[in-house]
Structure 1
Amino acid sequence: MRAVSLIGAPTDVGASDRGASMGPEAMRVAGLHQALAQRGLDVVDRGNLAGPANPWQTPSSGYRHLREVVEWNQRVHDAMYAELRHERLPILLGGDHSLGIGSISAVARHCRDTGRSLRILWLDAHADFNTSELSPSGNIHGMPVACLCGFGPSELTRIGGAVPAIQPQWIRQIGIRSVDAGEKRFVHEQGLEVFDMRFIDEVGVRQTMEMALEGLDDRTHLHVSFDVDFLDPEIAPGVGTTIPGGPTYREAQLCMEMIADTGRMGSLDVMELNPALDVRNRTAVLAVDLIESLFGKSTLMRKHAPPR
């Protein structure tokens, strides 16, 4: 029986809109615990982490709410790392995507401890590779990947004990369709592997995911960081930054099912769900459905793979 731990991080200190702080409870209301338990998982809900309130201030020295973001990420790091040390699969329920700094720093630290390689799937509409010099807003939820790669304030880049926490070649970004001009150049310079929506349109979801998952072996820890705005806003309106043209329901299901088929997922973030902008908790229900697919839900027991 796989052991899974739910960790709520109810904050929107890194975001441009208020409301992501309510995301963890929305997923609980949508039945996440029950859905995973029905899949035969040993599920424990650790409740919500506590941290500083959102002061809703303007940016200072290129960052909005840096002190609060650092404190939340340290608490996320500690909680995720503790679950990994106890051989449980942690699911971080966000909260805005700046929390990915603490989450993935913890996963990278665990991989260093255990001698495992790390692969990160970043499912998102945005590259989140801004810096204070490049960001038009100063919102740190647009900077987590850059911080993890060592580009950012030391208070964030050193969480987890190694700088940088990850190497750009460990990450695969999928579904990207909104990148700032300076950020676009920086992504190119650092050599991030980005499968944007044009790529997905041209080659299809199946080939995209095969490429993103290529090379996984039994010594690889697969971390999935799922920003709900990865999805097309027609099916997932409950996010702060809706960008048209994202994956459809079936495309998203195929992504999740192919990840599940690897059997390698060892940790998960679910980020940026904003119930204040949702319709009757529709986006949370969809998120729970997709998380179930990450843990093996499928229509039938498949006898064989379809032809290539």
Structure 2
Amino acid sequence: MITKDNYQPTAATTWTGRTDGTEPDLLRWHQVIKTVDLLQASLPALTAHEKGIVFVGFACDEGVRRNKGRTGAAAGPFALRKAIAGFPAHLQPDTVLLDAGDILCANGDLESAQQTLANTVQTILKAGYLPVLLGGGHEITYGHASGIRAYAKGRKERVGFINFDAHFDIRIPGEEGPSSGTGFWQLAQDCKQAGEPFNYLALGIQKNGNTRQLFNIAGEAGATYVSADAFHLQDKDTLLAAIQHFLRQTDRIYLTTCLDVFAAPFAPGVSATAFNGIWPGGLFLQCYRTILQSGKVAGVDVAELNPALDIDNRTAKLGAAIIFETVMAYCGEESID
């Protein structure tokens, strides 16, 4: 349940940027997006011809702290908003962009924050919108994906989880409980308890970033992964075959990108940088777009942006570019290639 303690609406003044004019072909995102205070109002109903996206921030890095990482990702949603505000509005005429504010982690209660996020995601999907979430640490995964699972359950749809990440994030929780590294372990347990398959595809996995135990847990849970080497060596066939095979097994996709999957020069602003991370170039874009174009994506998020560690806003701009890809695939102007 959203309360004044675990939720903060976005001030309309947050959305600012360059203004070239008010004609339709001059508009930018900050000129068309509308803010919604979920404490005061419900999401506006979409007409039969409208497509809608709801941005929600998860201003939380409690999971990063529990995972012994470098905190600061709670400021990620604000930085991502600033980075996407100036994008040109290459949108279909019947597009609705909403910003529904931030879910907060009050008093370090990560579990409650994740449940609130799950409920919010389910509400967004029921209203007909696509949730695009702004992290926040990768503890965003459990709340976001749980909301999608709850929505899909009523429709008897199979849910799959795709994670661009250097790490499996399938750790068994320690003494402090769930963290930024346990999200997919939690989802695996939920699927097992519900008698459902655990459909998990991890792309960009680094051998030097995961213990043998984590590889074993992933294997025992039935997860599929493609290592970062496939990106380094331009092994397009392996990557696209894995993605296409996975898509055929699912009806709804949770798509998450941990920014630490990328090489440190492109993504310095993360808790765990990777000098040998993947490049955010053509092969990554081809993989990402293949998933988006499947028509099965039910929710997207970008995680682990830590503005305090960023250099020249590189990581924020990279996260923003991924969000731009998402919006263009869902409701972009068809005449713009």
Q: TM-score, normalised by structure 2?
A: 0.74
The letter of the residue matching 1:167 is P
Counterpart in the other structure of 2:184: 145
In structure 2, the residue matched to 1:171 is 200
The match for 1:270 among 273, 287, 302 is 302
Is it true that 1:27 corresponds to 2:66 in the alignment? Answer: no
Seen in structure 2, the aligned counterparts of structure 1 residues 237 and 163 have a Cα distance that, compared at 3 Å, is same
- How many residues are paired up? 276
**Matched residue, 2:58:** 9
Is 1:71 aligned to residue 125 of structure 2?
no
Q: CA deviation at 1:72?
A: 1.1
Contact 2:188/2:221, CA 8 A, preserved across alignment: no
For 1:1-308, list aligned pairs within 5 A. 1-15=50-64, 16-32=69-85, 35=87, 37-40=89-92, 41-54=95-108, 68-132=109-173, 140-150=179-189, 163=193, 167-168=197-198, 170-177=199-206, 178-201=209-232, 204-205=235-236, 207-214=238-245, 216=247, 220-250=251-281, 251-294=283-326, 295-296=328-329
CA contact (8 A) 1:148 1:164 kept: no
Aligned mates of 2:162, 2:168 — CA distance in 1: 12
**C-alpha separation between the residues in 2 aligned to 1:208 and 1:167?**
22
Question: Which 10-residue stretch deviates more, 80-89 or 241-250?
Answer: 241-250
| Cα 1:149–1:215 shift into 2, 3 Å | closer
SS in 2 for 1:119: strand
Cα separation, 2, equivalents of 1:80 and 1:51: 16
Determine if contact 2:269/2:305 at 8 Å carries over to the other structure. yes
Deviation at 1:217, TM superposition (A): 6.0
SS at match of 2:55: strand
Once the two structures are TM-superposed, the CA of residue 264 in structure 1 deviates from its matched residue by 2.4
- Alpha-carbon separation, structure 1, partners of 2:284 and 2:125: 27
TM-score (norm: length of structure 1) = 0.80
Among all aligned residue pairs of Structure 1 and Structure 2, give the percentage whose two residues are the same amino acid: 22
The alignment yields a C-alpha RMSD, in angstroms, of: 2.9
**Deviations 1:107-129 (CA, angstroms, capped at 9, x unpaired):** 01111111222222111110011
Distance (whole Å) between structure 2 residues aligned to residue 131 and residue 218 of structure 1 = 26
SS for the counterpart of 1:141 is coil
Q: How many Å apart are 1:194 and its aligned residue?
A: 0.8
Give the residue type in structure 1 aligned to 2:217: F
User: Deviation at 1:37?
Assistant: 4.5
SS at match of 2:62: coil
In structure 2, do the counterparts of structure 1 residues 248 and 37 end up closer, same or farther at CA, with 3 Å as the change threshold?
same
Give the direction of change, closer, same or farther, for the CA distance of 1:249–1:282 in structure 2 (3 Å limit).
same
Change (3 A) 1:139 1:274: farther
Unaligned runs of 5+ in 1: 55-67, 151-156, 303-308
Equivalent AA in structure 1 for residue 293 of structure 2: D
